[in-house]
Amino acid sequence: MKPESRLARWSASIGPGIVFALTASGPGSFVSNAAAGATYGYALVWALGFTLLFRYAWLDTSARYVLVTGETLLDGYRRLSRPLVHVVLAGTIVVRHLSNMYKVVLLGSCIHLLLPLPFPWSARFWSVLSIALAYTMIRWGGYSVVERCCKALVAIMTASLIVAAFLSHADPAALWKALILPGLPADKGAYSAALLVMALIGTEAGSLTNLTYSYFLRAKGWTSARDLPRQRFDLFTSITCIFLLGTLVQIAAAASIHPLGLKLKNADDLVRIFSQSLGVAGRLIFGAGMWASAFSGFIGGTTGYALMVTDILRHGMLRSGAAGLDSKRPAPETRRDPYFQGFVAFWCFSPLYVLFTNWEPVVIILIVNSLMVVLIPVLALALLRLTNDRKRLGDHTNRWSSNVVLSVMIVVSIWLMLRNLINWW
């Protein structure tokens, strides 16, 4: 038997973080970063690293709680407030539906731009075919198949975006200046700087999407404190991937779209504009890259949210009493669970009606991602309380640095939310 290569061992040591990275860095992140680069050049690159610091603190503390206590994160939230679990369930159903809605459109439009069929409903055909493939993978393959697919897609996306950033002839001096002198530029174009930063926080710092990471850990079989070292390595790898993908998209958009003064009005604009500025290579890179981003986000998000809702409904978290709070509960095989199957089918096929509307995904993406920020203060405050409970976590309670980062995230998300509400009013 041949010994495993170093690359194979490294690949086996990660998984949940990569699935999460592509779930979090789906088309929402792709579009938010492209819109930021196209509208403000390099001026908002700093915001990506800033928001990822929030995300790392959130995921690290929540994973530590799950692995040390043996509970799911929603078990902990239920200990604090049962109505909070009701809010999470309702938000999960709505947000996943809206998120999958724009992915349905993007999946078809991206393939149509690369491989148009000789009939008027070509994009719709490709959308339905992509969703059928996604449903088959999740329904019959389960988490293990989704993980293998995401590992392959993240390698392809990273390589293609590196080429795109190189071809766009970015300005290193302007990029460095934006990184060391962060700030909000004056509003211009269709999207205000505050809205784009808020959308980046919604996609990169996340809210409900962050809850899925702990479920990916359980699906991987990491369920105890002894798994903390590899979980931290896995999380560091995923955050690095998210930062690299987002930064490359902003750089390419800032160098190729921003100088032209063009505005993003619909989903097809991204690929068409990059085709104009980067030629055939841009069309191939961003058409295929956007499809891979949408597809990986679709299968990862649908799987993670279905695992979360199955946990809520299967373990009685909506009822009063001690149900749902069994500590050290083993991670079940949920692929055959009726709740899991039902919600996977619902989130895969219910958004298909969007194919018969004129709704534009870019607008839906920014609005949905901005709305995600509303839940951050509530969920982060609950997480702070849970992960500072010395009685349950012992020596694994938060360090002061984690508490500071989570507290700053709460303040920043509230400030951005209020600023955008005032602007909209």
- The predicted-structure confidence for 239-256, as pLDDT tens digits, reads as follows 888 888 888 888 877 777
| Statement: 6-424 belongs to CATH 1.20.1740.10 | yes
Residue bearing the bigger pLDDT, 82 or 197:
82
Spatial CA neighbour of 207 closest among 78, 94, 64, 68: 94
Other C-beta atoms closer than 10 Å to the C-beta of 49 total 14
Report whether pLDDT(422) > 60: yes
Q: Can you tell me the mean pLDDT for 374-380?
A: 79
Residue 378 has pLDDT above 80, yes or no: yes
Rg (CA), the chain: 21
Torsion angle, alpha carbons of 413, 417, 383, 49, to 10:
-30
pLDDT at 128 over 90: yes
The tens digit of pLDDT for each residue in 131-182 reads 999 999 998 888 889 998 988 888 888 887 787 777 777 777 777 777 776 6
| Cβ contact 136:128 at 8 Å | no
Evaluate whether 409 touches 234 at the Cβ level (below 8 Å). Answer: no
**Residue 63 — pLDDT band, cuts 50, 70, 90?**
very high
The pLDDT mean for the chain works out to: 79
Domain locations in the chain as residue ranges: 6-424
Per-residue pLDDT of 19-43, as tens digits, reads 988 887 766 677 777 777 777 777 7
Q: How far is 407 from 290, CA to CA, in rounded Å?
A: 34
86: Cβ contacts below 8 Å, ≥ 6 apart: 318
User: pLDDT tens across 185-229, in order?
Assistant: 665 555 566 666 665 565 555 567 888 898 999 888 888 889 999
pLDDT confidence tier of residue 340, bands split at 50, 70 and 90? very high
Q: What is the pLDDT of residue 180?
A: 73
Q: How many CB atoms are located within 10 Å of the residue 47 CB?
A: 26
Contact call for residues 58 and 386 (beta carbons, < 8 A): no
The model's pLDDT over 359-375, given as tens digits with 9 standing for 90+, comes to 765 566 556 656 666 77
Q: How confident is the model at residue 1 (pLDDT cuts 50, 70, 90)?
A: very low
For the whole model, what pTM was predicted?
Answer: 0.82
pLDDT digits (tens, 9 = 90+) for 260-285: 666 655 545 665 666 666 666 667 77
